[in-house]
Amino acid sequence: MHSPHQLSCDALDSVSLPKHDAGGETHAVIPVCPRCDVELFILRFKDVEVDFCHRCRGLWLDAGELEVLLQQTGARTVDPILRSLQQEGTLPSGGKHLCPRCDKPLREISVTQAGAAPLVLDRCPFNHGLWFDADELQELLADFAPESGASKTIGYLNELLGMKNKT
Ligand SMILES: [Zn+2]
Ligand SMILES: [Zn+2]
């Protein structure tokens, strides 16, 4: 017997993620780095496919992938910072960074936390996802509440990207 309201991380392992967009819409566009204009390649992070630029070490996360990343590393997916990622954003003056999914200019969103400099991220105005420059994802996760367990996600990321060995 198990109670349905106690979904543990184990239960999440059995959730299979859609590998392709549901519906007829497929992305024929080759994803390209918003910064360097070179082709992104896919890194598998557990069940998430993260688009990574080998040149600038930036990362693209499709909408919802950050939450999946957190889930799969045993972190919580409830944090005020996650909500703040949904903001509209403003068009940067340069305006030349394009969404790898739809080629529309990305908007800058500013994530502020108490006692730290705001982190500026790039978000697709059509909610395809978020672009993180090198280390920005780790910086964002470092600002999550300690009890969220996001530090585990940072550990996995650093390992995956070979940025740091365990210290
Ligand atoms: Zn790049
Ligand atoms: Zn887009």
* pLDDT digits 0-9 by tens, 43-97: 988 889 999 999 999 999 999 999 999 999 999 999 999 999 999 899 887 767 9
112 band by pLDDT with thresholds 50, 70 and 90 = confident
Examine residue 107 and state whether it is found in any structural domain, yes or no. yes
Q: What is the span of the domain harbouring residue 49? A: 29-159
Examine residue 40 and state whether it is found in any structural domain, yes or no. yes
Examine residue 102 and state whether it is found in any structural domain, yes or no. yes
* The pLDDT value given to residue 106: 95
Examine residue 104 and state whether it is found in any structural domain, yes or no. yes
- pLDDT digits over 16-41, tens only? 444 444 444 555 568 999 999 999 99
Examine residue 6 and state whether it is found in any structural domain, yes or no. no
* The pLDDT value given to residue 161: 84
pTM value is 0.78
CA 32 to ligand 2 center in whole angstroms: 12
CA 143 to ligand 2 center in whole angstroms: 26
- pLDDT digits over 145-164, tens only? 999 999 999 999 998 887 54
Residues 6+ apart with CB under 8 A from 16: 47
CA 49 to ligand 1 center in whole angstroms: 17
* The pLDDT value given to residue 11: 41
Of the two residues 68 and 1, the one the predictor is more confident about is 68
How many domains are there within the chain? 1
Phi, psi (degrees; rounded to nearest 5) at 6: -100, 75
CA 72 to ligand 1 center in whole angstroms: 26
Q: Which ligand is nearest to the CA of 37?
A: 1
Contact indicator for 129, 101 with CB cutoff of 8 Å: yes
- pLDDT digits over 115-134, tens only? 778 999 999 999 999 999 99
DSSP characters over 22-90 = SSS----SPPB-TTT-SB-EEEEETTEEEEE-TTT--EEEETTHHHHHHHHTT--S--HHHHHTTS--B
Examine residue 2 and state whether it is found in any structural domain, yes or no. no
CA 85 to ligand 1 center in whole angstroms: 21
CA 63 to ligand 2 center in whole angstroms: 10
Examine residue 145 and state whether it is found in any structural domain, yes or no. yes
